[in-house]
């Protein structure tokens, strides 16, 4: 979900670099998938600081991630962690 969202805003060759930079700034291992919204949101926060287009993407992702969390808490059969990949 996250990488696919980024490709809507930036060139494909920039996606990997932005993801790595956001993970690095958030102190998250780029080679490990997030297991919770608590792990994912700091990466989204860092992504928001990288460029204007990345910030637009990050704002949309934050809304989507928080929606997953609310639906999971409400017992709607939704997992709380959206996917990172494409």
pTM of the predicted structure, to 2 decimals: 0.79
What are the CA-CA distances from residue 14 to residues 30, 40, 42 (Å)? 15, 20, 20
Cβ-contact 80, 37 below 8 angstroms:
yes
Compute the distance between CA of residue 63 and CA of residue 57 in angstroms, rounded to an integer.
10
pLDDT for res 40: 87
Task: Please identify every stretch of the chain with a pLDDT value under 70, giving residue numbers as ranges.
Answer: 1, 76-86
């Amino acid at each position: 979900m996250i990488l696919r969202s980024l490709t809507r805003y930036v060139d494909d060759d920039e996606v990997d670099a932005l993801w790595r930079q956001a993970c690095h700034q958030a102190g998250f291992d780029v080679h490990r998938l997030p297991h919770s919204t608590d792990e994912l949101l700091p990466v989204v926060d860092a992504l928001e600081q990288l460029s204007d287009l990345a910030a637009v993407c990050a704002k949309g992702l934050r809304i989507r991630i928080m929606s997953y969390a609310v639906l999971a808490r409400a017992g709607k059969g939704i997992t709380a962690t959206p996917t990172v990949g494409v």
